[in-house]
Amino acid sequence: IRDRTNYCQDSTDITQWNQNGSTTTVPAADILGQPAFTCSTTSAGGANDALTIVMTPGAYSGDVVVRYVFQKATTGTHDVTFALRDLDGSGFLDMSGATIDVYGPGTAVATGVGNYYVRVDGLSASEPTGIAVTLTGANIANRFMTYVYPGWEGTAEDCSVLFTTPQVELGSFLTSYIPTSGSTYTRAATSCSATFTELGDPLPAGGVTNDFCGQIAGQVQFASTVTGDTTLYSIGDATNGMAILINGTTLTLRKYVGGAPTDLTLTTGAYATGDAMDVRYRISASDMKLWWNVSTTNANANGTPLAAAASTSTLEPGHFVCGKVRIVPSALIDGDIEAWT
């Protein structure tokens, strides 16, 4: 996972936010292992009645990702509304061009005057809903505020929601949750690794130098408009091993032999956040081959073995929701690899 900062500096204690016309209480239960808060209002609505907190990232022009997790607490015509506001510049940020991803029951749409708000409806009382909003090319002068209002902004109604894990990141896609208390916090880049010994049979504990293949599959967490090499998965290291990287619509299988890289690439075509991603590869004594979603393939005749064995499998799960990882210590034929489910 890439290093990222959560600029929402009190994500674990929402009672520290400016409550205005809204009130918060701490329920006995949590959501997804994180402290949850009941946010309620009976006021006439409006931004001045919202639950707010101010952040100071400094002047910024680029992409911003906002994430909340909500759950229904009481009945109401609408469930919850939220927005971002640049306090030193342009006011509320226009959500009309934002990418809004919903994970769980309900819907979320940009709405209101100027499309300044995201309204969430259809929440469940028994299942949480994650909302991620990606704003492209946002301009922030110096400070900005995230604001949450139970119900629909500007409408008087008695409404409560459970509210947890608020996060605001500067970037083009969401990463893992970063808890904060009283200040912003930067999580260092992390990854998930296991040795072949830990993974067990049929992988050889001593590693592989040639004749192996595999698969990583899930949902990509950024769009094909995001450029710059991003490593999704690797075996071994940059001295002896292989890596799968993506850069926009270019997918790369990179083999390192004694520190010397050899690349095999293919063009994926356009994809969006949340789209299915299925990458398959083969490194054999006769070739390297790469598949994207099975139907798009490319191969070359590079059969050079690694100079030494590679025996550590490393996953970068912040870039995609991982559904499957497969490693096979033999060079299967195309038909066998393409038949994997």
Is the model's pLDDT at 181 over the cut of 80? yes
Decide if 37 contacts 163 (C-beta within 8 A). yes
User: Residues 192-213: what's their mean pLDDT?
Assistant: 94
pLDDT score at 277: 95
Phi, psi of 326 (to 5 degrees): -130, 135
Query: How large a percentage of the chain has pLDDT more than 90?
Result: 57
Taking residues 124-149, report their average pLDDT: 90
Average pLDDT over residues 207-213: 96
Per-residue pLDDT of 6-31, as tens digits, reads: 999 999 988 889 988 777 888 767 88
Q: Is the pLDDT of residue 46 over 70?
A: no
Mean pLDDT taken over the chain: 89
CA quadruple 89, 93, 99, 105: dihedral positive or negative? positive
Please give the Cα distance from 11 to 161 (Å, whole number).
16
**Tokens 């995001």, residue?**
226
119-123, 187-191, 306-310: range with lowest mean pLDDT:
187-191
Main-chain phi, psi angles of 256, to 5 degrees: -105, 120
How far apart, in Å, are the Cα atoms of 29 and each of 32, 118, 289? 10, 26, 49
Least confident segment among 30-39, 200-209, 315-324: 315-324
Q: What is the pLDDT of residue 322?
A: 82
Give exposure, 270-286, as e/b (b: 16+ Cβ within 10 Å): ebebbeebbbbbbbbee
Is the pLDDT at 317 greater than 80, yes or no? no
Token pair in block for residue 194 = 């296991």
Mean pLDDT of 216-234: 89
Q: Cβ neighbours of residue 154 under 8 Å, at least 6 residues apart?
A: 44, 45, 46, 112
pLDDT per residue as tens digits for the range 293-311:
999 999 999 999 999 999 9
Q: Is pLDDT larger for residue 187 or for residue 77? A: 187
Q: At a CB cut-off of 8 Å and minimum separation 6, what does 79 contact?
A: 70, 72, 106, 120, 121, 122, 123, 150, 151, 159, 161
